[in-house]
Structure 1
Amino acid sequence: MFMKKIPSIIIAVLIVAAGIIVGRILSSGNNDAESNPPRAAKPLPVTSVVNSEVSRQIEMTGRVRALEKIELYAEVSGVFLDAARPFREGSVFRKGETLLRIDDRVYRNSVQSAKSSFLNQLTLLLPDLMIDFPDEAHRWKSYIDAFRIGLPVRPLPEPFSDRLRQYIAARDIYATYYDIKSMEETLEKYRLRAPFDGMVTDSEVNPGMLVRNGQRIGEFAAPDRFELAASAGIGEVTYLHEGQEVRLVSDVLEEALTGRIARVNQAVDSDTQTVGVYIEFSDPRVKDGMYMTAVLDSEVPGAVRLPRSLLQQGERIYALQDSTMILLDIDPVVVEGMDAIVRGIADSTVLLAEPVEGVYPGMPVSPGMLKFQPSFR
């Protein structure tokens, strides 16, 4: 009899214990409900659009190069000689001054010998002219009298008839004359003159060195006229035009310089998808090979600036239409840091002003859920 009562007692204890546990759970749930009451729905931050001209900066970085720079090569062979100043890096020369000389004594003697032979030809021609062309002989006599072997050969007298021209040509006068003019041109190559005001930026020869035809001698450049070869994105070409003024900045210069766009290449670099922009400027503080950044202030008409974080897939944005959230297609012009400049949004369009978690296309929105912020411009 006693053994039959034990299971009944155990069952009663379990029922009481279960009741206590359930009571505590319900009590805990009520306390949580009291301490965390239901939250009200967070208002959606929205704003309207006002299109206008949006100011933006186009930055282009590139390397500076001298606008006037030439590489010098020897066109004749001989021993290298300095001119009035040594041909060394940093040496300054004015336009027309002799940069360097190559010993021309042997070749100059050959030219003098050819001129002497030519004078002999002309002297032998004169008696025949006096007999066959007495009216023309005096002009050729004056030419011979003024002939100087040490001076460049002057142009021959122009014959007044085809018969006289053929008469002179038959005696090889013209052939000899042009041979000597060619020799004189070659003689000039033994002395290199500065084509513009500038300085030697590279020298590869020393006095007494034998240079050969085609050998590189050095480099000569203007010290204050430069060109910045920069690159711009394809989408920025529309805002770049020849003659536009730009600011040039560098870490090594305390103040910005001013330059102008000289050329804009229309060909696209297939590797970088950029186009070349060439900016000319003058400043003695700049050095060939420096890196600089060109900054162009431009206006984007019919556009609006908004936070970059609002863009969806780069080309869409949340907008309110008939109390419903939609994804609106836009035309992104450029992304600058945390902002984006876009077009294609009508004035007064209501946009989501801040990223909000949980928003989705087709989401119904009541007027009470909206919190208006200053318009995007």
Structure 2
Amino acid sequence: MIRRALIISSALLLVMGLAACNESGSKPAGNAGAGGAAQQAAPVGVVTLKKDTYPITTILPGRAEAFQVADIRPQVNGIIREIAFKEGGEVKKGDLLYQIDDAAYRAAVEQAQAAISKAQASVPSAQSNFDRYQRLVGSGATQIEFETARTALAQANAEVEAAKAALTAAQIDLDHTKITAPFDGIIDQTAYNIGNVVAANQSTALTTIRQLDPIYISLTESSTNLLKLRDAIAAGDVKGEDNNIAFRLILEDGREYNQKGKLDMSKQVVSETTGTFIIRVVFPNPDRVVLPGMYVRATVELGAEAGYALPQLATARDANGRLTAQFVSAEGKVETRVFENASPSNNSWLVTQSVKDGDQLIVSGLQSIVSGMPVKPVPMKINDNGVVVPADQPVAGGEQKPAAK
């Protein structure tokens, strides 16, 4: 028992000695560390906001469609003698595509021409006989003979006209042995080769031609959003040239297409399968950058509004779907602001409340900060590609108007 009490007493004395050393040496160092941590501030990139007028835009998804599509089929029977195009190449309106053997059709034309000559040969005789009976009627010729002569003349003229019609039909068939392009476009591969027999108006197409300049873009959106678009169009808020609505196209790789499109009023329907509203836009496509089947997005301006543009890269959504952004408060700390109403403006959100001139929006370093944390603002800009860069780098179009991607 005595030995056990001595061990416990020794342990207590050792603990008390260590505590005393900690109070004399470690405590001041601990206070200094805590004070240093409280003074550190994380650097974050910021842009200074200023009220301005920005476009209100909407982005509609869509697919590219050929302006015209034609399945090429023969209109006469025969054997393909020549294929005059390069598969996958460009053809012009009127270019020869297929030549069907035309020997039989040339013979038919010559036969029709001979039939015209034969019919015309009988006309002078019938005309002379008619003239004679017309002079003699009532004085040596009966009325019946006169009527017979007039009928014979009419029949001779009718035979000439019938022969001419037969020649026209034969010539049409001969012309149809040359199958030509109905418009400028790109031609597919051929389904038939030289020596194949084809039939008039067969179900299988010989090939297909697609006109790609201009090109259609079929856009789809919910009926609610499209109703807003139509209201903006009716109110005259939608901007365009010569009273035409101007659409800008964003390609699959995020690049903006260098041509502007116009609304095609010929097709505005609601899809029976999805219930979405479909509108069609026409875009020039001289270099065939846009091809049928491509997925694209089209941007249209619905007017303009004064406010503050928050780049989309600096915003987020909370659990309730509300737009949020991080700002530097007057105390130099992170402040989270919630915006109930925001309108799309190219690659930014346009807000009119909870912001004032001079507010600093945090645009970089967002992953390493939390609300209430002290930060050190570093001036930044958004370049034309929507990338955050230091403020001393030049940027076209203004600090708060990053180019749409």
> Contact (CA 8 Å) 2:248, 2:298: kept in 1 or not?
yes
Shift of 1:20: 0.5
Structure 1 residues 54, 221: CA separation in 2 closer, same or farther (over 3 Å shift)?
closer
- Select the residue among 182, 187, 202 that pairs with 2:189: 202
> 2:77 is aligned with what amino acid?
S
Inter-partner Cα distance in structure 1 for 2:297 and 2:23: 71
Spell out the pairing of 1:258-277 with structure 2 (5 A cutoff): 258=259, 260-261=261-262, 263=264, 266-267=268-269, 277=280
Structure 2 Cα separation of the partners of residues 53 and 138 of structure 1: 85
One-letter code aligned to 1:26: E
Are positions 1:147 and 2:154 aligned together? no
Q: Distance in 2 between matches of 1:310 and 1:196?
A: 49
In 1, the alpha carbon distance for the partners of 2:55 and 2:90 equals 50
Which whole-Å deviations, capped at 9, do the CAs of 1:132-189 have from their partners, x for residues lacking one?
897x959975981892676436xxxxxxxxxxxxxxxxxxxxxxxxxx9888866764
Task: Name the residue aligned to 1:316.
Answer: 323
2:165 is paired with a residue of what secondary structure? coil
Correspondence for 1:24:
21
Q: Is the 8 A contact 2:55 2:303 kept in 1?
A: yes
1:231/1:274 contact within 8 Å kept: no
Structure 1 gaps, min length 5: 154-179, 361-368
Asked if 1:216 is matched to 2:214, the reply is no
Return the alpha-carbon distance in structure 2 between the equivalents of residues 46 and 286 of structure 1. 36
1:353-364 mapped onto 2 (5 Å cutoff): 353-354=361-362, 357-359=370-372
For residue 227 of structure 1, what is the aligned residue in structure 2? 214
1:90-114 per-position Cα deviation (integer Å, ceiling 9, x unaligned): 585653878533547279389849x
**What SS is found at the alignment partner of 2:76?**
coil
The within-5 A match list for 1:297-316 is: 301-302=304-305, 303-307=307-311, 308-313=313-318, 314-316=321-323
What amino acid does structure 2 have at the position aligned with 1:101?
I
1:244 matched residue in structure 2: 246
1:52 partner SS: strand
Structure 2 residue identity aligned to 1:20: G
Match of 1:283 in 2: 286
Q: Secondary structure at the match of 2:27?
A: helix
Deviations 1:107-129 (A, max 9, x none): 9389849x78x969x98x99999
Quote the RMSD (CA, aligned, Å). 6.2
Query: Max radius of gyration: which structure?
Result: 1
| Structure with higher RCO (Cα < 8 A, 6+ apart) | 1
Answering whether residue 100 of structure 2 is matched by residue 101 of structure 1, we say yes
Mapped partners of 2:199, 2:214: distance in 1? 33
Partner residue of 1:329 out of 318, 322, 340: 340
SS of structure 1 residue aligned to 2:28: helix
Amino acid of the structure 1 residue aligned with 2:205: R
CA shift, 1:226, in A, is 1.4
**Separation (CA, whole Å) in 1 of partners of 2:97 and 2:34:** 93
Determine helix, strand or coil for the equivalent of 1:342. Answer: strand
TM-aligned CA deviation for residue 376 of structure 1: 6.8
State the Cα deviation string for residues 333-367 of structure 1 (Å, max 9, x = none): 2683xxx323353763896733651359xxxxxxx
CA-CA distance at 1:211 after TM superposition: 1.2
Unaligned runs of 5+ in 2: 135-142, 230-237, 381-398
Where in structure 2 are the equivalents of 1:338-357 lying within 5 Å? 340-345=348-353, 348=356, 353-354=361-362, 357=370
**TM-superposed deviation, 1:329:** 1.0
TM-score using structure 2 length? 0.52
Report how many residues are paired. Answer: 323
Is residue 90–residue 184 contact of structure 2 (8 Å, CA) maintained in 1? no
- How does the TM-score come out when normalised to structure 1? 0.55
Q: Which amino acid aligns with 2:30?
A: D
Separation of aligned partners in 2, 1:104 and 1:243: 55
Distance 1:304 1:119, change over 3 A: farther
Query: Residues 287-307 of structure 1: CA distance to partner in whole angstroms, max 9, x if unpaired?
Result: 966969788685862243224
- Counterpart in the other structure of 2:32: 34
Distance 1:287 1:372 in 2: 41
Question: Cα gap change, 1:58/1:17 in structure 2, threshold over 3 Å: closer, same or farther?
Answer: same
Counterpart check, 1:80 vs 2:91: no
Alpha-carbon offset, residue 23 of structure 1: 0.7
